[in-house]
Amino acid sequence: MTDGSKEWMEMKLELIEQQAAAMAKLEPQADFLLKRLKRHHAPTYRQSLLTAHHTLQLAKALGYTDKEQQVLYRTALLHDIGKLHISRDILDNRHRLYDGALLQLQEHPKLGAGILESFIASGEVDGEAVLHHHENLDGTGYPFGLTWKSISLNARILRIASNYTTLTDERTSIGLSHQEALEELYCWSDVLFDAELVELMNHLYREHVQSKREKEDAGYDVSVKRNRNS
């Protein structure tokens, strides 16, 4: 990473873990599942936290209510919980999976919806988003091969957030810079991903960069003034 993406992600992860821990204190069932996921496969747990963060930022920017944000945040934290039923050998395989293993991996949205049945029934988790977070707009996704009109906004948000995390998290993937990841997402806009959400993700990152620069400039001004007054 060369454009601040790594620093952005690492700075946020500690805060994200604190937010997840705060939620978990109030929701022991969710906490139990997240701890199980962390023990089963720490990289998936890490990516779930980062995906939840990016998902929440998108939801806020889209004007979701506090309750809608909370549901989607919880959904994002638990969206990959079905991977509890996938072996670590398959989850750690970064090469081409053989057909049987690939089919097993592609079952994890259904497995996750099963694990989260009580959360979905109570409205605490968006079941469609869990089931459809690997669906593509052109119908090439899984597990159902849905197309644009059949994929909810929440599922499309999760699709963008999880893929952005996968592309940029160097601990569990190839670790592209923000610009490189956006170029990849832009290439597949309105084919795999919702183009408006890709653009919004880029806008949010640029806002972060601008805010950081303004804070650094302010800090520099203060430093210069102190030196002049000393």
Task: List active site positions.
Answer: 83
DSSP state string for 54-91? HHHHHHHHTT--HHHHHHHHHHHHHTTGGGGGS-HHHH
Among 138, 165, 147, residue whose Cα is nearest residue 44:
165
What is d(CA 125, CA 67) in angstroms, rounded to the nearest whole number? Answer: 11
Residue 187 and residue 185: Cα distance in Å, rounded?
A: 5
Query: Is it true that the peptide bond before 43 is cis, omega within 30 degrees of 0?
Result: no
Q: How far is residue 64's CA from residue 153's CA, in Å, rounded to a whole number?
A: 11
Structure tokens at 129: 């988003």
- Alpha helices (H) along the chain: 5-26, 28-40, 42-61, 66-78, 88-91, 99-105, 108-115, 117-121, 127-132, 153-168, 178-187, 195-229
